[in-house]
Structures are given as C-alpha cells and as structure tokens.
Amino acid sequence: MKIIACGDVPTILAPDAYFTGRVTQNPIIETEAPARLRATTVTFEPGARTAWHTHPLGQTLHVLSGAGRAQSWGGPIQEIRAGDTIWFSPGEKHWHGAGAKTAMVHIAMQEALDGVAVEWLEKVSDEQYGG
C-alpha cells in the first residue's frame, strides 16, 4: 500500500505548449508498471483549454465543478458540466476545457502504453473554440 498525503504533490502550472489560458494540474497518481493508470485534477480558468491531443489507450474525464466544452475531431462542441463523465476512445483526437465565462475542474484519467499517456498536437484556435 502507498498513501500519498494531501499536500505532498505540488500543483503544476500547465505548459503553454499544450494549453491555452491558465490551467493548473494537481497530480493524483502515476502508477508504476505493470500498472498504467495516471490521474490528475485539472483546473481551467474561463476560456482555458487543452490543445488537440490523443491517448493511446483512451481517456476518461469526470467533471467535478463548473462547466466546460469538449470536442472530438470532426464532431460538434459538446457542453460538459459538474457530474458528467466523458470517455474518449483510444486514438480519438479531441480537446476539452472551460466555458468562455465559467471555470471548470475535472479529473483526467488515462493509461500509459509503453510509458506514453498522451500525444499532443496543434493548439485549438479561438475560432475552433468558439464554434
């Protein structure tokens, strides 16, 4: 058993290369092989969002508070809110983030394949974000 005490893992300011706007990440767990689970609480300020990206084994989001947006490549922008759970299939190109005027917090859960949990792609333009 391993207990990670509250406050033992510092909050991370998400890198500008992969996010637009102010986003912070609070890592929950990154398991050691053979386990593959990685989970993080992610806080998006209004208008903040990820870049387009994929996950080799898919990704689950669970929205804890606020309201936001999510979109898969070629599909419509979907509104997401507290209590919603979103699943992206392995390799599905997508983005997610806060609403234009509302913050959003979600838990992001994904598994790593050969040590890789995400492939970052191009940023979501303001036009794409606005729908």
pLDDT tens profile 92-124: 999 999 999 999 999 999 999 999 999 999 999
For residue 27, name the pLDDT band (cuts at 50, 70, 90): very high
Alpha-carbon distance of 79 to 91, in angstroms, equals: 21
Enumerate domains of the chain plus CATH numbers: 12-130 (2.60.120.10)
C-alpha torsion sign, points 93, 52, 94, 116: positive
By percentage, how much of the chain surpasses pLDDT 90? 94
Residue whose C-alpha is closest to residue 79's, from 54, 108, 48, 100? 100
Burial environment of residue 125 by CB neighbours within 10 A (0 to 12, 13 to 18, 19 or more): exposed
pTM for the predicted model, two decimal places: 0.95
